[in-house]
Structure 1
């Protein structure tokens, strides 16, 4: 079994509420699985760096920027939260939470949310003023999900909680069963009014009412298999992606697939193991597996469209559809652009040499990535 460096570094079992969060033997795995050398190819899509803005290093966490309107928000482990102009990278404001951060950023047109160490949730207005703070039940690794009326988080004790967006008062909290062993990957939350779609340890995907936390449905995106507890670990990874009437996810040692957003009924599922999540466009679902292969599946049927295995063990981010390409970051700071139609290489660009762990985001006609060393970089095609 391979455990990559993306499982956020510790060689011990961390006991919490009778359960363990596991990050073992990353260095052994990476020694055995040598990253593939970069291959030469004929560039058919030139990519340039539009701007780069320093935000702060990620430390042991993974921070994902978010675009709201003409702005990009980003955060760093040292407590920094910044607002950037999406077109130029100009810093509009920078604040410090006064505590180290472990998760962010979630945002809406009115609220910017990040989470600090020991589960402190910070909510700012879009001018950088602190609106409120709230205390989660334990550590939080995934970005808060900001809906119209609430901010929703999931802590590592598998409690999902919603806080009033205006006051920070807890509106509801629910607790789901936690497996004996879980991995410190980052299952996220997607908002699909009137529900929050939550990726959970144990291979579960669940829909909760934003109004009161009532369970609308829960499905197994993966089924535990194997003789030992390690072999039976299955955790949904990344943030569920909502596309029309579908929600699509992937699980570690599980499956990639899409489900009916209203009922949880499976549309299709294919065996695949990933630590980093999926992306979706109007035709395809894209996923990067643990071995470094990037695959595309027909969104409607799950039929395999293509698979590129030339980035083996390069510690890939989740891929994202970007124009005629699929963009994916790697552990050496490169962003690779694959043909959306057949998966062949069409472009490549280097950032600052540090890992691109978070999924890139599309901001208008640009692609934005955040590196582990703390650069937020905007890329554009020429």
Structure 2
């Protein structure tokens, strides 16, 4: 059985994301890859921690908070699954006592997580367990919930959909995968009647949520290189739907956008790769590249609008928008706020001592960060 080997190698590659952006996986120390020191500057944005709530312990890739309405859904590796009020940080409910590999995904009615044994566990709107079903193998990507299904992406490159009400397997789609895959910030997206998933080998898929039929499949980038490590080109972060455009970014690959209203026609592609993902305000894409230079790309044609290299090699998280800033987290637990207009540094605040691996969450009240110690924090800004 290949799964245990793949699981081990995937775990190594999860660490390799940090290693490659630091001093290299197998090389001797190279000062070119040292994290940039923090510099002094005059803040132009006021940053305030509005609340902090402990939901469990630990943090890892695959654990990213999700907002539905006025409720944040989150989980921790220790087994805690929680619903938290956005305005106050108060716990609405907390459940779970099994070590988790990924979670949580929610549509507000059903919240799903996955245990380390590959068991998909679903809770109702009050936090009561309603069903559990076994996935084909381990799951390190948060479940996607909606369109009547709970979908998971397993480590053998299979996407499985379980009935949201009963947990019965509805469909399964599998694609061949490479020898190595990343464990980093990756998320599937629910769209009307569709599940959008990024895959290894730089591919995006749009799947009919009801039947599992693949409606469209396109390539962001092609694998290149002589070794398995060099050929890694997983789609990272969350695929972005902006009107008819579907955009994605891959590790060691590219950033590309496709027009789904025209059969998935490729609109543009740029040689800008990322280890964590990107976000958009509907006009621009914002992302840290492979060396953690933060870039803004025009959504219409992909041309670069600005770049900020002050955070070089600081192992930045997937970004989030907050007010007139774009926020990123780093390996020392700092949140950095950059101007959406020109990329200038506006403010920073330390929210924890460990790396911020979870993607930051944009909300109407500020940015939510899940720390490596299992805390949820809402950080707001004002001019």
Q: What's the TM-score once normalised by structure 1's chain length?
A: 0.92
What are the equivalent positions in structure 2 for 1:327-338 lying under 5 Å apart? 327-338=327-338
| Cα offset, 1:62, TM superposition | 3.7
- 2:155 matched residue in structure 1: 156
2:211 and 2:329 map into 1 onto residues whose CA distance is 38
- The superposition leaves residues 131-158 of structure 1 with CA deviations (integer Å, 9 ceiling, x where unpaired) of 1111101111111111131111110100
Q: Quick check: 2:235–2:248 contact (8 Å CA) kept in 1?
A: yes
Partner residue of 2:274? Answer: 274
| 1:318 corresponds to 2:318 | yes
2:24 match: 29
SS of residue matched to 1:29: coil
Match of residue 296 from structure 1: 296
Q: Distance in 2 between matches of 1:270 and 1:131?
A: 45
How does 1:348-363 map onto structure 2 within 5 Å?
Answer: 348-363=348-363
Spell out, residue by residue over 1:193-250, the C-alpha distance to the aligned partner (whole angstroms, 9 max, x if none).
2211110011111111111111111111111122233222211111212221112111
Identify the residue that residue 220 of structure 2 maps to in structure 1: 221
Deviation at 1:56, TM superposition (A): 2.3
Determine the structure 1 residue equivalent to 2:257.
258
Match of 1:202, SS? helix
2:5 paired residue number? 15
5+ residue gaps, structure 1, are: 1-12
Question: Could you say which residue in structure 1 is the equivalent of 2:207?
Answer: 208
Residue 115 (structure 2) aligns with: 116
2:309 aligns with 309
Cα deviation, residue 28, structure 1? 4.9
Written as runs of structure 1 = structure 2, the 5 A alignment for 1:23-172 is: 23=13, 26=19, 28-29=23-24, 32=30, 33-96=33-96, 98-172=97-171
The corresponding residue for 1:9 is none
CA contact (8 A) 1:80 1:94 kept: yes
8 Å CA contact 2:62, 2:142 repeated in 1: no
Q: Deviations over 1:247-269 (max 9, x none)?
A: 21110110012112342221211
Question: Does structure 2 conserve the Cα–Cα contact (< 8 Å) formed by 1:248 and 1:278?
Answer: no
Q: Which structure's residues are more often strand, by fraction?
A: 1
Over 3 Å counting, the alpha-carbon distance change for 1:85 and 1:135 in structure 2 is same
Q: 1:124 deviation in Å?
A: 0.5
Say whether residues 1:192 and 2:191 are aligned partners: yes
Q: Is the 8 A contact 1:61 1:77 kept in 2?
A: no
SS at match of 2:312: coil
Structure 2 residues not aligned, in runs of 5+: none
Aligned residues of 1:317 and 1:328 also touching (Cα < 8 A) = yes
Count of aligned residue pairs for this structure pair: 368
- With the length of structure 2 as denominator, give the TM-score of the two structures: 0.91
- Contact 1:187/1:200 (<8 A) preserved: no
**Structure 1 residue matching 2:82: 3-state secondary structure:** strand
Separation in 1 of the partners of 2:318 and 2:6?
28
For residues 360 and 185 of structure 1, the distance between their equivalents in structure 2, rounded to whole angstroms, comes to: 13
State the alpha-carbon separation in 2 of the partners of residues 104 and 356 from structure 1.
16
Q: 1: CA distance between counterparts of 2:232 and 2:93?
A: 42
Displacement of 1:294 in angstroms is 0.6
Q: Deviation at 1:60?
A: 4.5
Root mean square deviation, CA, Å: 1.9
SS of equivalent to 1:272: coil
Asked whether 1:367 is paired with 2:357, we answer no
* C-alpha distance in 2 between matches for 1:233 and 1:197: 20
Distance 1:244 1:230 in 2: 35
CA distance in 2, matches of 1:132, 1:261: 35
Shift of 1:29: 2.6
